[in-house]
Amino acid sequence: MLFCDEVTSALDADTAVAVMNLLTELPDRRGLSLVLVSHDLRLVADRTDSLVVISEGHVVESGPTARLFTAPTHPVTAAPATGMPLGG
């Protein structure tokens, strides 16, 4: 299992995408599970099967990534879809 905590936070947008592309290849190539910790849900959205959204230390929503982006039930999850900054 590979845990990546804010692995792209200090990178420019193009480099962040390139790093994420490399990281998301690892599970298939190495038989790993990949856990991404990020404030940028949009960056991880198309690279994950499921999400756990935490705000102020509490899980506020979890489930399949596609459902959380198409039908979020919590304002923190809905914020990226509206372009608002992620709270929490």
Task: Return the pLDDT at 88.
Answer: 41
pLDDT of 4 > 50? The answer is yes
Q: Is the model's pLDDT at 58 over the cut of 90?
A: yes
pLDDT at 61: 94
Q: Where does residue 63 fall: left (phi above 0), alpha (psi -120 to 50 degrees), or beta otherwise?
A: left
Does residue 24 or residue 88 have the better pLDDT? 24
For residue 87, what pLDDT is reported?
42
Average pLDDT (1-29) is 89
Q: Which of 22, 71, 32, 75 is nearest to 53 (CA)?
A: 75
pLDDT tens string 67-87: 988 888 998 888 765 444 444
